[in-house]
């Protein structure tokens, strides 16, 4: 039997299949989710469910669905779906949702992302603890009538929704390479770009949850190698790297150099603010300083957020924000039910390139103004004391604890926070020059080394 404590994370349910997540636990999660929804709103009658291309997603979703329909709720089965398509379905239909995916994790993993009606997130602090508790309780209640299951197809509707964020006719004569990594981008990318008058080549389009070519994790620079080579060999204007469930995207310029999530956030923010100059735009606290600078320079209101989709979506609702971006490649749009979508962000950048009639390598220059370490991850044996020790080292600087420890100086800043998904501490450091960056990094590494269990794991996506 799977261990509930192991698979319930901060934002979703995820683990090794079948060692940690199996059919039995998925049926219990389905039942618990239905009970949770009925507690929140007794009028709830439907749940939309989607799956990714992993071989285990079919059987796990069937058991989950069994748990839901036993409580009398009907299932709208979306079938193969990207995560952003599931959020769209939840939003446009006004029903809660669940998608079976382990996102960028390797083939042996699977999981479940849950949301309330209109794509409102279910995570830590917004209902996931309650669902976990209900999973642990025995419940013998049965509905008078078992719910029904109906198949639906929203790919065309989702495609038109995505295209509504841009004028696709402006994205003309661009040479685009997209690496969908055998993930769900292989479903949505061809459908969307069929309506864009540019040339696109798709790498690893076939849906294959064994990921035969490379892992579907674009944060790992090694997984970008094939895309970079193809962009350079074909003299493409841009490369798009999607993760396994296609809710994230990373861009490659025509020189084969990746853009960070912060640079993409800045570009998308500037484009959105050109249409709505008074809009509120949210950035998480590990985004480059260039992001709030761009927001303010273009008439927007910049709001700083904790890392993670549940925090960002909640803050978007509270501030009526038009857009939010994360350094990790998640981009959220008010008109997308405040949900993240990699392909919407990609289209906005492509349109921005066309409007400016300049290569991406040139356009990005104004946003690559700081020197960053990228994200460096450490396995730490005493995270609480580590943060206290580092805070004491920098008592003369501005410190805050919105999410971990952030220290701000006039020429640099860093954030050190616990991962929400892995047993790691994550360091992000940025400075006005490489010399300053390396000086502060040496100080931090000297302190961290006494708490470290293993070598640092560096994310090279800057």
The DSSP result for 291-327, as a single string, is: HHHHHHHTT-EEEEE-SSHHHHHHHHHHHT-SEEE-T
State which of 233, 253, 273 marks the end of a domain: 253
Closest CA to 444 of 418, 424, 414: 414
Question: How many structural domains does the chain have?
Answer: 4
Is there a single domain that holds both residue 34 and residue 148?
yes
- Please identify which residue in the block is written with the tokens 């949702």: 97
Per-residue pLDDT of the chain (462 residues; tens, 9 = 90+): 567 888 998 889 999 999 999 999 999 999 999 999 999 999 999 999 999 999 999 999 999 999 999 999 999 999 999 999 999 999 999 999 999 999 999 999 999 999 999 999 998 888 999 999 999 887 766 677 899 999 999 999 999 999 999 999 999 999 999 999 999 999 999 999 999 999 999 999 999 999 999 999 998 999 999 999 999 999 999 999 999 999 999 999 999 999 999 999 999 999 999 999 999 999 999 999 999 999 999 999 999 999 988 889 999 999 999 999 999 999 999 999 999 999 999 999 999 999 999 999 999 999 999 999 988 999 987 888 999 999 999 999 999 999 999 999 999 999 999 876 667 899 999 999 999 999 999 999 999 988 876 655 555 444
Contact 190, 205 (CB under 8 A): yes
In this structure, the number of other CB atoms found within 10 A of the CB of residue 167 comes to: 12
What tokens does 66 get? 């069994």
Is there a single domain that holds both residue 117 and residue 11?
yes
274 has catalytic annotation: no
What tokens does 338 get? 């405040």
Is there a single domain that holds both residue 23 and residue 53?
yes
What tokens does 375 get? 């994200």
Domain CATH for 388: 3.30.310.50
Domain range spanning residue 297? 261-366
Q: Where are the alpha helices (DSSP H) in 172-217?
A: 185-193
Domain CATH for 89: 3.40.120.10
Contact 329, 284 (CB under 8 A): no
pTM: 0.94
Is there a single domain that holds both residue 319 and residue 241?
no
Is there a single domain that holds both residue 13 and residue 147?
yes
56, 66, 81, 103: which is the annotated catalytic residue? 103
Is there a single domain that holds both residue 403 and residue 427?
yes
């Amino acid at each position: 039997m799977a261990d509930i404590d192991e698979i319930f994370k901060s934002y979703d349910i995820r683990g090794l299949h079948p060692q940690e997540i199996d059919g039995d636990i998925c049926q219990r999660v389905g039942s618990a989710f239905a009970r949770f929804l009925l507690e929140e709103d007794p009028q709830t009658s439907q749940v939309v469910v989607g799956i990714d291309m992993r071989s285990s997603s079919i059987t796990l979703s069937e058991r989950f669905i069994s748990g839901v329909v036993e409580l009398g709720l009907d299932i709208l089965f979306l079938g193969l779906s990207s995560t952003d398509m599931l959020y769209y379905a939840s939003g446009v239909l006004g029903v809660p949702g669940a998608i079976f995916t382990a996102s960028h994790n390797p083939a042996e993993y699977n999981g479940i992302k849950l949301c309330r009606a209109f794509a409102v997130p279910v995570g830590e602090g917004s209902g996931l603890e309650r669902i976990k508790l209900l999973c642990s309780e025995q419940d013998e209640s049965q509905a008078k009538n078992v719910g029904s299951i109906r198949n639906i197809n929203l790919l065309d509707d989702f495609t038109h929704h995505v295209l509504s964020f841009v004028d696709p006719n402006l994205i003309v004569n661009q040479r685009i390479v997209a690496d969908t990594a055998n993930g769900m981008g292989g479903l949505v990318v061809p459908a969307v770009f069929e309506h864009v008058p540019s040339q696109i080549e798709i790498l690893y389009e076939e849906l294959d949850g064994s990921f035969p070519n490379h892992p579907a994790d674009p944060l790992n620079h090694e997984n970008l190698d094939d895309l970079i080579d193809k962009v350079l060999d074909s003299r493409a204007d841009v490369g798009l790297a999607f993760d396994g469930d296609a809710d994230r995207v990373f861009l490659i310029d025509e020189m084969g150099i990746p853009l960070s999530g912060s640079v993409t956030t800045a570009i998308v923010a500037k484009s959105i603010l050109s249409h709505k100059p008074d809009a509120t735009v949210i950035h998480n606290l590990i985004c480059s300083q260039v992001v709030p600078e761009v927001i303010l320079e273009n008439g927007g209101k910049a709001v700083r957020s904790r890392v993670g989709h549940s925090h960002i979506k909640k803050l978007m609702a509270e501030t009526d924000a038009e857009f939010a971006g994360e350094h990790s490649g998640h981009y959220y749009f008010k008109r997308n039910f405040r949900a993240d979508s990699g392909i919407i962000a990609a289209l906005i950048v492509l349109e921005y390139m066309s409007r400016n009639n300049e290569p991406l390598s040139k356009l990005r220059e104004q946003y690559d103004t700081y020197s960053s370490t990228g994200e460096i991850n450490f396995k730490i044996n005493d995270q609480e004391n580590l943060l206290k020790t580092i805070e004491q080292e920098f008592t003369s600087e501005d410190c805050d604890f919105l999410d971990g420890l952030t220290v701000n100086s006039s020429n640099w800043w860093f954030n050190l926070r616990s991962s929400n998904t892995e047993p790691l501490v994550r360091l992000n450091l940025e400075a006005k020059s490489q010399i300053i960056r390396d000086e502060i990094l040496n100080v931090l590494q000297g302190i961290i080394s006494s708490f470290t269990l293993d070598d640092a794991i560096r994310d090279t996506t800057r």
